[in-house]
Amino acid sequence: MTKHEFDEWQEMIAEEFSAEEAIVGRWAQEGAVQGPLTSNTEVLPLEISTPRMPLLRAVDSDGAPVGRAWVGLDHPRGAPDTAFL
């Protein structure tokens, strides 16, 4: 994943997550996108270069993006021997 792709992805997932949280009544929609952006900054302080946090982009045979994956080799809440996707 490139820096540009990372920036676009971060904005997209923050908007989607905050919208979901607003729908179920956990957050107000206005200004809600900042929460996930801040959380991700804490977990990914070096963005795409954060150690043990590979950020992957899948492409089809034509090179068109078809998906992304964030693999955390260390669980963000410190659970032992647990990774997350």
Would you list the domain boundaries of the chain?
A: 3-70
List of residues 6+ apart from 82 with CB closer than 8 A: 75
β-sheet bridge partners, residue 55: 70
Q: Give the long-range contacts of residues 37-42, CB within 8 A, separation 24 or more.
A: 37/10, 37/11, 40/10, 40/13, 40/14
Tell me what pLDDT residue 40 has. Answer: 87
For the chain, the helix, strand and coil percentages under 3-state DSSP, each to the nearest 5: 40, 15, 45
For residues 29-52, give the mean pLDDT: 87
User: pTM, whole model, 2 decimals?
Assistant: 0.72
Q: What is the pLDDT of residue 52?
A: 94
Residue 51's pLDDT is 95
Quick: pLDDT tens for 47-58.
999 999 999 999
Predicted confidence at residue 74, as pLDDT, reads 87
Asked if residue 75 has pLDDT above 80, the reply is: yes
